[in-house]
A and B are shown apart, each in its own frame.
Chain A
Amino acid sequence: MSGSSRSDESTRPARLEPPVTDASEPFWEATRQRRLMLPWCTACDRPFWYPREVCPRCLGSAIEWRAASGRGEVYAHTVEHKPVMLKAVFGDEPYCVALVELDEGVRLMSNIVDVDPLAVEVGMRVSARWEPMSDGRHLLLFAPEGPVA
Chain B
Amino acid sequence: MRGAAAIVGVADAASPTGELELTGRALEAAVIAEALADAGLTLDDVDGVCHSTSSMGLAEYLGIHPRFTDSTMTGGSSYEVHAEHAAAAIAAGLCDVVISVYASTPRSDRRRGRPPMRPNLMGPNPMLEWEAPYGLRMPMGPYAMAANRHMAEFGTTSEQLAQIAVSTRDWAALNPRARYREPITVDDVLASPMQCSPLHLLDCCLVTDGAGAFVMTSAARARDLSRPPVLVLGAGTCHDHSMISQMPDLTTTPGVVSGRNAFAMAGIGPGDVDVLMGYDSFTITALLHLEDLGFCAKGEGGAFVEDGRTGPGGSLPMNTNGGGLSYTHPGAYGMFLLVEAVRQLRGECGDRQVADAEIAVAHGSGMVLSCMSTVVLGTEAAA
Contacts and interface: CB of A to CB of B under 8 A. Distances in A.
Given A18-B128, A18-B133, A108-B130, A123 B152 contact: yes
Sorting the interface of chain B by its residue count into under 10, 10 to 19, 20 to 34 or 35 or more gives: 20 to 34
A123 B135 CA distance: 22
A81 interface: yes
B136 A76 contact: no
A90 B133 CA distance: 13
Interface in B124-145: 124, 126, 128-137, 141, 144-145
A91 interface: no
Interface stretch (B106-114, B191-199, B309-317): B191-199
B281 to A, nearest CB: 15
A7 to B, nearest CB: 22
Nearest to B144: A78
A59 B137 CA distance: 33
Main secondary structure of the interface of B (DSSP, over half): helix
Given A16-B128, A122-B152, A78 B133 contact: no
A80 B141 contact: yes
Contacts of B196: 78-81
Sorting the interface of chain A by its residue count into under 10, 10 to 19, 20 to 34 or 35 or more gives: 35 or more
B142 to A, nearest CB: 8
A80 B148 CA distance: 13
B132 A18 contact: yes
Interface in B155-198: 193-198
B149 interface: yes
B125 to A, nearest CB: 9
A42 to B, nearest CB: 22
B128 A122 contact: no
B145 A18 contact: no
Nearest to A82: B195
Interface string A69-105: 0000001111111111110011000010111000000
B197 A81 contact: yes
Interface string B231-269: 000000000000011100010000000000000000000
Nearest to A18: B129
The 7 closest A-B pairs by CB, nearest first: A86-B135, A122-B152, A78-B144, A76-B149, A85-B135, A76-B145, A109-B245
Given A15-B133, A50-B126, 6 more contacts: A16-B133, A18-B129, A78-B148, A78-B197, A78-B198, A118-B197
5 contacts: A24-B129, A86-B134, A89-B135, A90-B135, A108-B130
